Amino acid sequence: MYADASVGRLHAACGKRSTGRGLLTIVTSDHGEAFGEHGRTGHNRTVFDEEVRVPLILRWPDRIVPGQRIREPVHLVDVLPTILAAAGTEHGAAGLAGVDLLPAVIAGSGLDPERPLLLQRPQLKRRSLYRSHKRPPLCGVRRGKWKLVESRGGRRGALFDLQADPGETRDLAGVERERTAHLAAEIAAWRTVEAARAPAPPHETLSDDARQKLRALGYVD
């Protein structure tokens, strides 16, 4: 209740200060939550839909017609290009990975249903209550109704038909071998691009005081 009331006050204050474009409100989440659907609870552990499929709600009075629903899957990376377009700075979206969703929600322009959506979850292997270290992220890809969930240890990934099996319970990788290989190649290509874009790690030398504080928080050994 307190959070709802606080967001309401913030929304009202922003509305009073908005320009002639009106106030665009976007509600979403950075992750879902697992409740045992695939033998796990919590989040940041898998790329099954219960952890990666989240709400994305846009409200823009006099611009977006209320109640409509986009059937094609979209991605959280689409949020920033959409905001930039709403602010009238479309050129600022150049080079971004996402797409502007406003043509779809305002003009009804269709989105590409076969657009590949890459999924990633950081993997933390906990060593103690206060210490953990990262493993390579777990990835997946969705293209249309098909979704490939990467497996650990070099094993073949699991392929699901989300239209017939929204709960991701029937692995079709052994039947759809060519499709599985194609989607696995898309993940591999995406990993290569992301590795090339990754910034070089900083080479700053921590002071003894800073290192001691980080150690107390469990961030360094």
Sequence letter at residue 131: R
Position 195 scores a pLDDT of 77
What is the token pair recorded at 215? 């150690």
The answer, yes or no, to whether residue 57 has pLDDT greater than 80, is yes
134 pLDDT exceeds 80?
no
Pairs from 189-196 (Cβ < 8 Å, separation ≥ 24): 190/118, 190/139, 190/141, 191/139
Dihedral angle, C-alpha 173, 176, 177, 178, nearest 10 °: -140
Average pLDDT value for the chain:
85
Alpha-carbon span 72 to 81, nearest angstrom: 17
Helices (H), the chain: 2-17, 49-52, 79-86, 102-106, 177-197, 208-217
Q: How far is the C-alpha of 49 from the C-alpha of 33, rounded, in Å?
A: 9
Does residue 35 sit in helix, strand or coil? strand
* CA 119 – CA 138 distance, rounded (Å): 8
Phi, psi (5° rounding) for residue 80? -65, -50
pLDDT of 11 reads 83
User: Phi first, then psi: what are they for 179, rounded to 5°?
Assistant: -65, -40
Please say whether the beta carbons of 96 and 76 come within 8 A.
Answer: no
Residue 156: DSSP 8-state: P
Give the pLDDT band of residue 105 (cuts 50, 70, 90): very high
pTM: 0.78
Task: Quickly count: other Cβ atoms within 10 Å of residue 27's Cβ.
Answer: 11
pLDDT at 212 over 90: no
Residue count of the chain? 221
Lowest mean pLDDT among 4-13, 23-32, 106-115, 131-140: 131-140
